Amino acid sequence: MPRAGSPARILHFGGGHERATVLAVHEGGRRLEVREESGATREFVLNPATARFLPAGSAQGERLELLADP
């Protein structure tokens, strides 16, 4: 279950990635607000068909990967 403060990684289409931090968890863990390395905030939504977090409003491209707490 994701929680605020957990580390994450945004995987970009084409293989690149950047670190992120979960800021808030909404809708029982199905919607996450994250802060990117750049300081920008974004929302990711759990896709029920693939069980992957994808950018809110988009069904393709980047995805969010939750990392284990240190």
In tens digits, what is the pLDDT along the chain, a chain of 70 residues?
899 999 999 999 888 999 999 999 999 999 999 999 999 999 999 999 989 999 998 767 799 999 997 7
**1, part of any domain:** no
Has residue 2 been placed in a domain? no
How many domains does the structure of the chain reveal? Answer: 1
CA distance 29 to 31: 6
Contact 17, 9 (CB under 8 A): yes
Question: Is 17 part of any domain?
Answer: yes
* Under 8 Å between Cβ of 58 and 66: no
Cα–Cα dist 11/8, whole Å: 10
* Positions of E strands within the chain: 7-11, 17-26, 31-36, 41-47, 52-55, 63-66
Residue 54 inside a domain? The answer is yes
CB 20 within 8 Å of CB 8? yes
